[in-house]
Amino acid sequence: MSSVETIHVDGEWRGAASGAQREVLDPADAKTLAVVSEGGADDTDAAVTAARRAFDTGSWPHTPVAERAALLRRVADLLVRDREEIALTESRDTGKTLAEGRIDVDCVADAFRYFADLVVAEGAGRVVDAGSATVHSVVVHEPVGVCALITPWNYPLLQASWKIAPALAAGNTFVIKPSEVTPLSTVLLVKLLAEAGLPAGVANLVTGAGDPVGARLSEHPGVDLVSFTGGLTSGVKVAQAAAPTVKKVALELGGKNPNVVFADACATDEDFDTAVDQALNAAFIHSGQVCSAGSRLIVEESVRERFVAELARRAEKIKLGRGTEEGVECGPLVSAQQLDKTEAYVASALAEGAVLRCGGSQPEPNEVRPAAGYFYAPTVLDGCHREMKVVREETFGPILTVETFRTEDEAVALANDTEYGLAGAVWTKDAGRARRVAGRLRHGTVWINDFHPYLPQAEWGGFGKSGTGRELGPTGLAEYREAKHVYQNLAPEPVRWFAG
């Protein structure tokens, strides 16, 4: 992909109004992967204007539900058709393995199909009993309007689908701004929307930096909703910018996710192997660049030493390299900035007394791991405690911290001691304990004896500073709607409140 015309407004591809461009780098070797348009405030305003016109005077908001659902299913079919091309683009752009890229495409197709099925299965509205045979009262749902969709760099295609699919299913128009670091798969997705027959102006795309593009979308008076996935600091800015226009805001801001392992989950060799394997997956998939990564291992003291020793032994064997290479298990970090942050977090942890069990540095280059790439070895830090910066802040890198507990109450207290509340897991063979702990964890998703799976029909989002609102599930569709109560008096007559 080399075209610089990556801004899509009112059905047409164009370059930035300023003529500005940006190089997109391959994180495996820091070479230029593509050149894209670097949009600005003028491009953003043009995109919002097109989306506003398409919503206010266009056909899409009034298109029958069955037709909207049919278009979503066509998009899913096109994703399946282009699976290899899109997966390769996602792998090269983000650094993740090609296998992960393929899974992402499959999950995106599932999301489009889910929301298509959801809207078709709904009734025409919820009838409300007004207590009178001469009154017909119903609550209906309508599209919210023009949606600003701002997506992150770690799962650009997946996060775009979680917003685009329900927005379209509900009848909205939108402007999407992908991360300037990883915009390429979003460009491909918007092209598929057009191929599927989406009317011009419904889907608009502006590639560019958070400031000015994301900032302008958040404050724009022509936008009715802004849905943002990204870091806490940027999310707060989005909410502040949106406040004066009182638009709807949905924020998914990441997490610091506990993976709690009780000793009985390691009772047999098979149990032990499974718990260790899942702890590795929780922490190091996509080099830890996952908002729900299990970056905090909280393990019962009696099994701690054996568990951590085996975890570190396996982590050292993870095969790092370019994500498209055969046999590679983990790719690079997405950027030089992310590599610098990872190094800084590890340095701070060691300065605060953490014990390095493995990793802690960039690996030696080899035939699948170019020297210029942003690689960092999977790192296990033992002897950690809740006051450490690396334990409290979202690192978004291949760093796993280890804390220990003796009692169930202590385990829960540690797991909940975070300003975030996105996801967490508990490992135990005791069904009663599993339910108790899951019920006490203040996190939006809780896994029992598992880590990372999600379902498009189940809501995703978090407590605390992990954000507001939910994606996926029926609530994920409701985010893109307004409820309207229609009260019809079938036999109107004078009220006679006023005597005259």
* Residue 343 DSSP symbol: H
Sign of the C-alpha dihedral computed for residues 384, 389, 392 and 398 taken in this order: negative
CA 193/CA 202 separation, integer angstroms: 10
Closest by CA position to 271, among listed 75, 480, 428, 60? 428
CA 336/CA 146 separation, integer angstroms: 35
Q: In 237-383, which ranges are E strands? A: 248-252, 258-261, 296-300, 355-358, 379-382
Write out the two tokens for 145. 């309007």
Q: Which residues contact 19 (CB under 8 A, 6 or more apart)?
A: none
Sign of the C-alpha dihedral computed for residues 292, 296, 297 and 300 taken in this order: negative
CA 144/CA 61 separation, integer angstroms: 10
Q: Which of 252, 394, 403, 459 is catalytic?
A: 252
279-308 CB burial, b ≥16 within 10 A, e <16: bbebbbbbbbbbbbbbbbbbbbeebbeebb
Q: In 263-372, which ranges are E strands? A: 296-300, 355-358
List, in sequence order, every residue forming a beta bridge with 448; answer none if it has no partner. Answer: 426
Q: How many CB atoms lie within 10 A of CB 309?
A: 15
CA 48/CA 45 separation, integer angstroms: 5
Closest by CA position to 387, among listed 429, 428, 351, 432? 351
CA 54/CA 49 separation, integer angstroms: 9
* Residue 127 DSSP symbol: E
312 sits in the region (left: phi over 0; alpha: psi -120 to 50; else beta) called: alpha
Write out the two tokens for 269. 């060799």
* Residue 214 DSSP symbol: I
C-alpha pair distances (Å), 219 with each of 111, 414, 479: 29, 38, 19
Number of residues in the chain: 500
Is 482 one of the annotated active-site residues of the chain? no
Q: Please name the residue that has the structure tokens 């790719």.
A: 331
Please give the biggest Cα pair distance in the chain.
93
Helix (H) or strand (E) holding 89: helix 83-94
Cα angle for residues 331, 149, 160 (degrees, 5° grid) = 40
Helix (H) or strand (E) holding 422: none
Catalytic positions are: 252
